[in-house]
Structure 1
Amino acid sequence: MSQPANVVTADTFMTDVVEASARVPVLVDFWAPWCGPCKQLMPILDRLAQEYGGRFQLAKVNTDEQQELAQQLGIRSLPTVVLFKDRTSVDHFVGVIPEAQIRRLLDKHLPASSDGPLERAQALKASGDFSGARSLIEGALATDPQNITYQTELAELRALDGDLEGARTELARLQGVEPNHAAVKRLAALLAFSDVIAANPDVMALRERAASNESDLDLQHALAVHQLLGGDVEPAIQTWLDMMRHHRGYKDDLARRSLLQAFELIGDADPIVSRTRKEMARLLF
């Protein structure tokens, strides 16, 4: 089952819609309690969100309560439904349209569905449905209990669900079994960054502090971690490269170690990794 739709306000729109759409497309339903067509459309969108199994996140904006936000976004008729992807609006429709037409809009922009349990679990994880993702992986492990990738994915879901100690215990066990496995290295990187997130949970307050204290490397590092895990990779990478360039010795080469951990999360297939490795080589030698 998919996660229930997010109720979005002007204060959370950037985080819950724009930034979130870098990880998974976000379909935003602009509605009002007095709007009859809105009430017709809502159950259709809820059903599609469940059926698509994490391939998109559904969000809802009550325009009676968020009038200024609706005006800023140019919402003139209700219901209006807007699809955000990669931090920008990519499609929309107004009014109640046939379900088949909504499906065509979604299928045009959403990543292809996969029948594999890992891919389906990762789609659910990206939408925030950690319990649904965990159920899928636990089911997969029941038939393939020695699968290291499934085991690390389950540990990662534990961490995302708040059980950091359980995830660390599992990481220690996995490092004793397959220390060089890519998924195990990814989990180690995620848990290292999770400690930074736990120490700096309020990203909005962190942004303000980092902006007014540009020389505070701890704040800049923490913000870079938030950016990386939030999908905003470029500025995070640039922060650590700048730290390498000007503060190589800071905390036992923290910037270089952070970049290497970031590569484990991003994956070598992403061109930014090879570009950054070349830049690091120039700085190191």
Structure 2
Amino acid sequence: MTDQPTTPGLRGAIDLARLGAPSRPPAAGQTATGAGASAARQTPAGASAAAVPGRSGLVVEASDATFSEIVNVSVSVPLLLVLWAAQIPESRDYLDTVATVAQAYGGRVQVVSIDVEANPGLLRAFQVQTVPVTMGLIQQQPVPLFAGPQPAEQLRPVIDELLALAVQHGVTGRVELGQQPETDEDDASETALPPLHQQAYEAIESGDLEGAAAAYRQALKENPADADAELGLAQVGLMQRTHDVDLQTARAAAADHPTDVAAQTLVADLDLLGGHVDDAFLRLIDLVKATSGDERERARAHLLELFSVVGSQDERVRKARTALMSALF
């Protein structure tokens, strides 16, 4: 991990399925993973984290004994892990900062508190050298974010990216926050989704990607400057294009037809979905160089759409824009 935020990607070397497993053999008739694992496998994306007993609420505490159960929640709701230590008060204060920022997302992300001093198994598993450490968790896969405390203004764009990645992987549930502190109407209006955005969100949860796209298109028609709708439409488009695609078949087709726009853009989509952002951008920039006319324009337009998925402020997007300009001129 580094001290600087990194863009989320569904990659990591930690075997989360083994964390929190019993240290002694299970009793007769039981398995090491417990009932929570099988229940999670039957939980569709979009289900609430409250389906796991005692795990509802914005912030939950994880331990060596309970972590494997909490991991299962990440198949339906993205998790934000904060590893801290009681002997370092500032790391505990940082957990409060994360919780405060996460509160504004209305249950779209759940914060998991891990006191590494009290849980040596998790300390060994995550190989923590310093605290606090912040990680994402999507579909039981770790998403390294950063080490060290971060101010609230730097946390928000990272959580936004984590949620964007979660949407790409069909993880769109919410946790039941329970009774929250009363807020005035202005505060409530700031956290509520606009009607068309809420419509798109509910469509994604139900698997109606075309309905979600239609809602975002309508939002953009009403407000062409709606950046969130533009991002949402791009993400839904990525999900539509890669639905039920066989990765090996797609890569073989792209290798056999290096200037085929459809084949190359599909693999670029799959690269982006897998967290290989630079590979996706480079593939399409090379395609722009190798094509002309309408095919070049299709490749360029597709690359711009992937820029929208990642976010215009991402450094890799900035670099790729410069490379695209060089390829075009």
Q: TM-score range by the shorter chain?
A: 0.5 to 0.7
Deviation per CA, 1:77-109: give whole Å up to 9, x if none: xxxxxxxxxxxxxxxxxxxx9862245447635
The number of residue pairs the alignment matches comes to 221
- Cα 1:98–1:44 change in 2 (3 A) is farther
User: What pairs up with 1:113-152 in 2 under 5 angstroms?
Assistant: 119=159, 122=163, 125=166, 129-132=171-174, 143-144=188-189, 147=192, 152=197
Q: Find 2:221's aligned residue among 176, 188, 191.
A: 176
Deviation at 1:276, TM superposition (A): 1.4
Q: Find 2:10's aligned residue among 3, 17, 20.
A: 20
Match of 1:71 in 2: none
Letter in 1 for 2:250: L
Quick check: 1:178–1:184 contact (8 Å CA) kept in 2? no
Match of 2:18 in 1: 29
1:246 aligns with 2:290: yes
Letter in 2 for 1:234: D
Deviation at 1:224, TM superposition (A): 0.5
The 1-side partners of 2:287 and 2:236 are apart by 22
1:46 aligns with 2:88: no
- The structure whose RCO (Cα within 8 Å, separation 6+) is larger is 2
Deviation at 1:254, TM superposition (A): 1.3
Quick check: 2:213–2:237 contact (8 Å CA) kept in 1? no
- Cα 1:249–1:27 change in 2 (3 A) is farther
Deviation per CA, 1:217-245: give whole Å up to 9, x if none: 32121010111122211111011101111
Match of 1:164 in 2: 209
Quick check: 1:186–1:265 contact (8 Å CA) kept in 2? yes
The 2-side partners of 1:212 and 1:43 are apart by 50
TM-score, normalised to structure 1, is 0.58
Deviation per CA, 1:30-78: give whole Å up to 9, x if none: 899997175699852234435996136xxxxxxxxxxxxxxxxxxxxxx
Match of 1:83 in 2: none
- Cα 1:162–1:267 change in 2 (3 A) is same
Match of 2:238 in 1: 193
Quick check: 2:264–2:283 contact (8 Å CA) kept in 1? yes
Q: Helix, strand or coil: the match of 1:179? A: coil
The 2-side partners of 1:280 and 1:264 are apart by 15
The 2-side partners of 1:242 and 1:167 are apart by 32
- Cα 1:230–1:158 change in 2 (3 A) is farther
In structure 1, the gaps of 5 or more residues are 1-18, 57-96
Letter in 1 for 2:286: D
1:267 aligns with 2:311: yes
Letter in 1 for 2:218: R
Deviation per CA, 1:134-179: give whole Å up to 9, x if none: x77xx9xx94389557953762563375211220231133113322
The 2-side partners of 1:125 and 1:119 are apart by 10
- Identify which range, 223-232 or 207-216, moves more after superposition: 207-216
- Cα 1:31–1:148 change in 2 (3 A) is closer
- Cα 1:39–1:168 change in 2 (3 A) is closer
Letter in 1 for 2:120: Q
Q: Percent identity?
A: 20
- Cα 1:187–1:163 change in 2 (3 A) is same
Quick check: 1:55–1:124 contact (8 Å CA) kept in 2? no
- Cα 1:253–1:159 change in 2 (3 A) is farther
Quick check: 1:182–1:264 contact (8 Å CA) kept in 2? no
Quick check: 1:227–1:236 contact (8 Å CA) kept in 2? yes
Q: Per residue, is there more helix in 1 or in 2?
A: 1
- Cα 1:53–1:169 change in 2 (3 A) is closer
- Cα 1:53–1:240 change in 2 (3 A) is closer
Match of 1:55 in 2: 80
Quick check: 2:20–2:68 contact (8 Å CA) kept in 1? no
Q: Helix, strand or coil: the match of 1:55? A: strand
Quick check: 1:267–1:273 contact (8 Å CA) kept in 2? yes
Letter in 2 for 1:194: M
Q: RMSD across aligned C-alpha pairs, in angstroms?
A: 4.7
Deviation at 1:215, TM superposition (A): 4.3
